A and B are shown apart, each in its own frame.
Chain A
Amino acid sequence: MRKGPSIFNVTLVALGLAFLYLPIAILVIYSFNASRLVTIWGGWSTRWYVALWHDSAMLDAAWTSLRIAALSATAACVIGTLAAVVLVRAGRFRGRTMFSGMVYAPLVMPEVITGLSLLLLFVALDVGRGFWTVTIAHTTVTMSFVTVVVQSRLLSFDCSLEEAAMDLGCPPLKTFLTITLPLIFPAVAAGWMLAFTLSFDDLVIASFSTGPGATTLPMRIYSEVRLGVKPEINAICTIMIAVVALGVIAAALVGKRREWVGRT
């Protein structure tokens, strides 16, 4: 669908984006509010960022979350990409319907159910809950998202590239590593980012699957927020938004440089 944008279209998109961004903008602005009362504007200040710097519990939680997100996103990328390869390339095999069912179900499964079920598994296995159980839980939930992203790239992938590599004497595994993987890399990277964010963001599943000693950032923020609005929370949220925005811009730049990928 093309053609010049009509005023009607521009208005629709602008309104939609305003709705999406206004609350975030307000939050960012208020994180620089000098007043302790969140609702009253007391002038610009960075005092809440300083206060945050001394909140060691919050910083610990952030560090835990970062490590869990990085680890689980990486694992989810490996397993999720394999699953995508199976769905696109393995053709028919026994249990294929079952397989794709298992892959797509976590996408829509309500978090409370996934969280509860994983916790009960960990209890049944009698493993100590904490950092690793949360990582496993997040890997399971986020791998499906990686699969969907990678799968759609693989579907538009020209199979004759792989065939050409094999025809030129490259064994299948090496073909995947030297031809397929570099070419679908943007999708895998996008999947990693998505998985990272989902993990970094998750409250419900982490709350179920964690144990003493491993408090994630969302769990920390949640317990603070329940007690009411606090300016420090505005500050940490602003930092998180900045990190994500930088990540996205970096990814976009990398994507631009690699624009030839996908063109054949």
Chain B
Amino acid sequence: MTDAAKPALRKAPDWGRRLVILVPALWLAVFFVVPCLIVLKISLSQTVIAQPPYVPVLDLAAGWPGLRDFAGGLSLDSYKMLGSDWIYLTSYLRSLAIAAMSTVILLAVGYPIAYGIARSPRRLQPVLIMAVFLPFLTAFLIRIYAWINILQREGLLNDTLLALGIVREPVVWLATDTAIIIGIVYSYLPFMVLPLYASLEKLDESLLEAAADLGAPRWKAFWLVTVPLSASGIVAGALLCFIPIAGEFVIPDLLGGSSALMIGQTLWTEFFQNKDWPVASAVAIALLLVLLAPILIYQHVQMRALEDR
């Protein structure tokens, strides 16, 4: 404002702020929340051979009677099916078991790496973190595929083991749970290391020195100071891995066997092979219910981590 021109003094409009909120909120409502509600609705429908392959179809043009017919047509058949067939229950349990096991292994593998990076020279840290993150930027599918090369019967792992005389016969790696877990740990490692690093990096070296000064041996200082202070990173990393792993499809499909399925594969099969949309939706809703608690905890941790800074 120059001294010559006196500005017109008037109030600032508020619609700009509203628009900024509205755009992402609307997008997420339409493409995230509404689809989830549709899944819920279809899980309560029945399968027919038609297009779309389920009844009842909600016809809002039919008005109130249409809505009533729709409500009357809903059924829990798909959920009953989930309960009656062992295949579903076992694949849920299997998914959770594999997810839990992988998460524990990921923590065991990821923590030392994150710890090592956090204690390396400052200048080097961004480079190392980038190095951990880089494989994640090369396609997921490629990384799983790379492991097929290694794990197959005539693959490099068996070649190496035979050459070293550790085993006499080629070991079957592919199509086992071991292969699935190796693939998962390999693919999700950056997701574990990054939150752990974020919490470890903030840790003040002088805290460990103080612990040592007060007479705690190194391992004890680590256990009593470092681990509790990185708890938020541990929780965030574990959930960031556990939740998507439980619904994983590609890794078990490519590295696992065909005998026992993970829930992501079951959903895929119901949808693409059996064309049973209501059951596929019911599988999705049930999975969502199982994962609801971890998802809520993750959101809580995420919000607190971002807003407490």
Q: Are these two chains actual partners, yes or no?
A: yes
Shortest A154–chain B CB gap in Å is 10
Contact with B along A187-213 (1 / 0, CB 8 A): 000000110010011111001100000
Of the candidate stretches B67-75, B82-90, B137-145, B161-169, the one touching chain A is B137-145
Residues of A within 8 A of B291 (CB): 110
Docked pose: A111 CA to B158 CA in angstroms: 33
A252, closest chain B residue (CB): B130
Question: Which residues of A80-120 are within 8 A (CB) of B?
Answer: 80, 82-83, 85-87, 90, 93, 95, 99-114, 116-118, 120
Docked pose: A227 CA to B53 CA in angstroms: 30
Residues of B within 8 A of A117 (CB): 32, 35-36, 38-39, 284
Question: Which residues of A160-192 are within 8 A (CB) of B?
Answer: 169, 172-173
A80, closest chain B residue (CB): B24
Docked pose: A155 CA to B309 CA in angstroms: 8
Shortest A135–chain B CB gap in Å is 11
B138 touches A79 (CB 8 A): no
B277 touches A221 (CB 8 A): no
Question: Which residues of A238-254 are within 8 A (CB) of B?
Answer: 240-241, 244-245, 247-248, 252
Check: B55 CB closer than 8 A to any chain A CB. Answer: no
- Count residues of B near A (Cβ-Cβ below 8 Å): 96
Check: A57 CB closer than 8 A to any chain B CB. Answer: no
Shortest A144–chain B CB gap in Å is 9
A102 touches B109 (CB 8 A): no
Residues of B within 8 A of A106 (CB): 32
Check: A16 CB closer than 8 A to any chain B CB. Answer: yes
Docked pose: A202 CA to B42 CA in angstroms: 25
Residues of B within 8 A of A85 (CB): 20
Shortest B127–chain A CB gap in Å is 9
Shortest A35–chain B CB gap in Å is 12
Check: B200 CB closer than 8 A to any chain A CB. Answer: yes
Docked pose: A137 CA to B137 CA in angstroms: 19
Residues of A within 8 A of B148 (CB): 225, 229
B154, closest chain A residue (CB): A39
CB contact between B298 and one of A99, A108, A172 (< 8 Å): that residue? A108
Check: B65 CB closer than 8 A to any chain A CB. Answer: no
Interface size class of A (residues with CB under 8 A): 35 or more
Residues of B within 8 A of A38 (CB): 149
Docked pose: A202 CA to B148 CA in angstroms: 19
Residues of A within 8 A of B1 (CB): 169
A225 touches B145 (CB 8 A): yes
Contact with A along B267-309 (1 / 0, CB 8 A): 1100110000100110010011001001100110011001001
Check: A127 CB closer than 8 A to any chain B CB. Answer: no
Docked pose: A13 CA to B116 CA in angstroms: 6
B186 touches A155 (CB 8 A): no
Shortest A15–chain B CB gap in Å is 8
Residues of A within 8 A of B132 (CB): 16-17, 20
B264 touches A112 (CB 8 A): yes
Docked pose: A56 CA to B132 CA in angstroms: 34
A99 touches B143 (CB 8 A): no
Docked pose: A125 CA to B120 CA in angstroms: 53
CB contact between B250 and one of A93, A121, A172, A204 (< 8 Å): that residue? A204
Q: Kindly list 8 other residue pairs between chains A and B, CB separation below 8 angstroms, not including A201-B140, A222-B250.
A: A4-B121, A23-B147, A24-B146, A90-B20, A99-B25, A105-B299, A110-B247, A244-B134
Return 24 A-B CB contacts under 8 Å, by A number: A1-B200, A2-B119, A5-B116, A13-B120, A24-B138, A27-B149, A39-B154, A79-B24, A99-B24, A104-B302, A110-B243, A110-B291, A112-B247, A113-B284, A116-B267, A120-B277, A120-B281, A139-B31, A204-B250, A208-B271, A225-B141, A237-B138, A237-B139, A247-B137
- Top 3 closest pairs, chain A to chain B, by CB: A110-B247, A117-B35, A12-B116
Residues of A within 8 A of B (CB): 1-6, 8-13, 15-17, 19-21, 23-24, 26-27, 30, 38-39, 79-80, 82-83, 85-87, 90, 93, 95, 99-114, 116-118, 120-121, 123-124, 136-137, 139-140, 143, 147-148, 151-152, 155-156, 169, 172-173, 193-194, 197, 200-204, 207-208, 218, 221-222, 225-226, 229, 233-234, 237, 240-241, 244-245, 247-248, 252
Residues of B within 8 A of A (CB): 1, 12, 16-17, 20-21, 23-25, 27-29, 31-36, 38-39, 42, 52, 109, 112-113, 115-122, 128, 130-132, 134-143, 145-150, 152, 154-156, 159, 186, 189, 193, 200-201, 203-205, 239-240, 243-244, 246-250, 254, 264, 267-268, 271-272, 277, 280-281, 284, 287-288, 291, 294-295, 298-299, 302-303, 306, 309
